[in-house]
Chain A
């Protein structure tokens, strides 16, 4: 794994997203009063360098919740290309969203993701692919994130966000230990191996879910 550098908190290159983060931070924290817990002591360590953040997907606000959870880093969110065909295009592009065509994956998009990860940035992904049905049950995870992390040689950090209900309750987030996918294989893994890892990550996320639902 590459030596992990401390990321800059502010940068002129990212002036818009930093402006949004700074101005949005106070009202967001006051409204949600986030309760962030960690799976273990090592999960509490700040994320340095490139990492892929995976998170369950309950609602449209999940990217904001994820930014609250890992507030000290900028996030590149992988989003469905369809969102960029709306009036929100300019905004989404400037808050570092990476559009992906789910039906017809472009390899250039994968390269973009890989470049961000290898240059030490955080890419956040919702591996369920869509917002789940609201029952609290997660959809099956897609294996693409494992390929992305393997290729860029970065860890996957699992995050679980409990649905924000009732409305005035505190937001509850659980952050798990980083999983270094590359340590799991000595030689080229087959697609079945990658699917098994994806299932393990789903299990990991389910464990975080249990922790989240024990919080009061």
Chain B
């Protein structure tokens, strides 16, 4: 079972893939970092992130949308809940 910090680190790798032009900002982000406002994620990069999370963590996202994940921490919490 992955711990929350481990999920966060794995998620950071995915975020770098989803927005590799913004690598420096993502490497120094924390759970309060906003996906859209701080990292400049678009609907397509969020979709990329979701697909990568599903493949990496072996989970399936339910009926949720982009606005349900304002911060990186919200994504971590969702993955954590799905893994339990």
Contacts and interface: CB of A to CB of B under 8 A. Distances in A.
B48 A104 contact: no
Contacts of B64: 106-108
B20 interface: yes
A191 B65 contact: no
Contact of A188 (B19, B50, B52, B62): B52
A125 to B, nearest CB: 13
Nearest to A142: B44
B17 A190 contact: yes
17 contacts: A101-B65, A105-B65, A105-B66, A106-B63, A107-B47, A107-B61, A107-B64, A110-B47, A110-B50, A143-B44, A144-B47, A147-B47, A151-B51, A190-B20, A191-B20, A192-B20, A192-B21
Size band of the B side of the interface? 20 to 34
Interface string A147-159: 1000100000000
Interface of B: 17-21, 43-48, 50-52, 55, 61-67
Interface in A99-119: 101-108, 110
Contact of A191 (B18, B61, B63): B18
